[in-house]
Amino acid sequence: MAKGYIVADIHVHDNGSLEKFIEMVKPIFKEYDAKILVRTPNAEVREGKKTGVVVVIEFESIDKARKFYECDAYQAAKAERDKISDTDLILVEGF
């Protein structure tokens, strides 16, 4: 089965408040067997606009990534993140 991934580019306006979001999502990651593959504020931009914090999260399938994103607990955490950042986020299916 192909893996599923969330790829996010988070432009944080209040770094101190980001910790609340991180603490909220940790147990949700565990519940959905999510694996953080990348989390860096130092992406090397070759094309396009400057990035924020780039995050790549792996799930066992695209369906599991969707369920994670759509679950009530993540949506509550997302609401907190939305207060302190602008985010571009996509779900993709791997090979």
Q: Please provide the distance, in angstroms rounded to a whole number, between the alpha carbons at the two ends of the chain.
A: 8
pLDDT, mean of residues 30-51: 93
Contacts of 58 (CB under 8 A, 6+ apart): 3, 4, 5, 34, 35, 36, 37
The predicted pLDDT at position 51 comes to 84
pLDDT in tens, 7-22: 999 999 987 788 889 9
Mean pLDDT of the chain, nearest integer: 94
Percentage of the chain with pLDDT > 70? 100
